[in-house]
């Protein structure tokens, strides 16, 4: 591991995330938004020969240690299909996170709306989504819900009931309140993946809007955002643009250099903090 690159409110480490995170203080991170390697779906220049159960378990343990009380980890992941069966690694990771002390605060879905996975379709439907596990260390201290879902009947009074545990019904607490033009977003997010290989800087990038919306939802300006699998720097770019501090870790030199350039560009245009 070399000395970190500091770009204004971003500190970027070229090295292995386990080694780097070992040097981070307990409870020093407000939010992690990351996408770890998905089984063997991408080769990353042959650098995944150590991506084992023991490795990702240790990484999740470190994430719990460095996360502040009330902090959140957004873990975006999918499974490979081997010998006709999905591996289920994503579920094992979520359960391990709970064993480490995290709450499984939400199981969200990224609906990409199109087939972009590796593999054939002779025996199954095309996979068009990925899991976005939201783990929290206690109750999340920040939740800024995005309210951009267009209501079907704006202005109409709300009606309805809620079922109690014993099966009886009670009126909704907001009974009679008029619907606004927009309502709170659901936990299935529809966002197209970056399909064009011409414009992609990394084998498996997620959209800038996906990183931005999680950063806005689960953190506040000035908070520290971490991405231990920095890749081409999408999370770091959006964290700076939204006025957060950022820590990124990437061991592949090619992607680390790309991330540095993108984050430096975001620093020049972002909503920077003192």
- For residues 38 and 108, which has the higher predicted lDDT (pLDDT)? 108
> For residues 12 and 226, what is the distance between their CA atoms, to the nearest angstrom?
10
Instruction: Say what the alpha-carbon torsion angle 29, 31, 37, 42 is, to the nearest 10 degrees.
Output: -120
CA nearest neighbour of 31 among 57, 69, 77: 69
**Mean pLDDT, the chain, integer:** 88
Q: For tokens 């981070």, what's the residue? A: 24
Helices marked H in the chain: 17-21, 53-66, 89-100, 208-218, 234-241, 253-269
> For residues 222 and 210, what is the distance between their CA atoms, to the nearest angstrom?
20
Task: Report residue 9: phi and psi, to 5°.
Answer: -95, 15
Dig out the tokens for 233 from the structure. 């720097």
Helices marked H in 22-73: 53-66
CA nearest neighbour of 32 among 249, 177, 272: 249
- For residues 197 and 242, which has the higher predicted lDDT (pLDDT)? 242
Q: Give the pLDDT mean for 156-173.
A: 84
> For residues 22 and 24, what is the distance between their CA atoms, to the nearest angstrom?
6
pLDDT tens-digit readout, 10-23? 999 999 999 999 99
- For residues 241 and 269, which has the higher predicted lDDT (pLDDT)? 241
Contact yes or no for 233/262 (Cβ under 8 A): yes
- For residues 116 and 85, which has the higher predicted lDDT (pLDDT)? 85
pLDDT tens-digit readout, 204-230? 578 999 999 999 999 999 999 999 999
Dig out the tokens for 155 from the structure. 């202005």
**Residues in CB range of 8: below 8 A, 6 or more apart:** 240, 267, 272
Please, which residues bridge with residue 34 across strands? 75
Tell me: pLDDT of 52 over 70. yes
First to last CA, the chain: 28
> For residues 252 and 229, what is the distance between their CA atoms, to the nearest angstrom?
10
DSSP assigned state of 22: T
**pLDDT grade for 181, boundaries at 50, 70 and 90:** confident
Least confident of 44-48, 149-153, 204-208, 236-240: 44-48
DSSP string covering 165-205: TTS-EEE-TTTTPBP-SEE---SEEE------TTT-SSSS-
- For residues 271 and 174, which has the higher predicted lDDT (pLDDT)? 174
């Amino acid at each position: 591991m070399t000395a970190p690159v500091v770009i204004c409110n971003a500190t970027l480490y070229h090295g292995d995330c386990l080694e780097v995170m070992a040097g981070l203080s307990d409870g020093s991170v407000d939010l992690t938004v990351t996408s770890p390697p998905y089984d063997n779906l991408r080769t990353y220049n042959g650098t995944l020969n150590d991506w084992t159960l023991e490795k990702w378990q240790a990484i999740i343990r470190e994430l719990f240690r460095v996360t502040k009380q009330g902090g959140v980890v957004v873990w975006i992941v999918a499974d490979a299909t081997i010998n006709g069966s999905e591996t289920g690694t994503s579920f094992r990771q979520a359960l391990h996170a709970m064993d480490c002390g995290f709450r499984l605060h939400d199981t969200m879905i990224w609906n990409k709306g199109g087939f972009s996975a590796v593999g054939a379709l002779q025996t199954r439907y095309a996979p068009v989504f990925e899991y976005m596990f939201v783990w929290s260390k206690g109750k999340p201290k920040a939740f800024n819900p995005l309210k951009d879902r267009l209501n079907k009947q704006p202005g109409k009074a709300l009606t309805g009931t809620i079922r109690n545990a014993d099966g009886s019904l009670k009126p909704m607490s907001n009974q009679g309140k008029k619907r606004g033009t927009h309502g709170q977003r659901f936990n299935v997010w529809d966002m197209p993946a970056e399909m064009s290989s011409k414009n992609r800087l990394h084998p498996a990038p997620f959209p800038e809007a996906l990183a931005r919306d999680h950063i806005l939802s689960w953190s506040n300006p000035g908070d520290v955002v971490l991405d231990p699998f920095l890749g081409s720097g999408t999370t770091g770019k959006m964290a700076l643009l939204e006025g957060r501090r950022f820590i990124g870790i990437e061991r592949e030199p090619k992607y680390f250099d790309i991330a540095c350039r993108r984050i430096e560009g975001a620093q020049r245009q972002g909503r920077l903090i003192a």
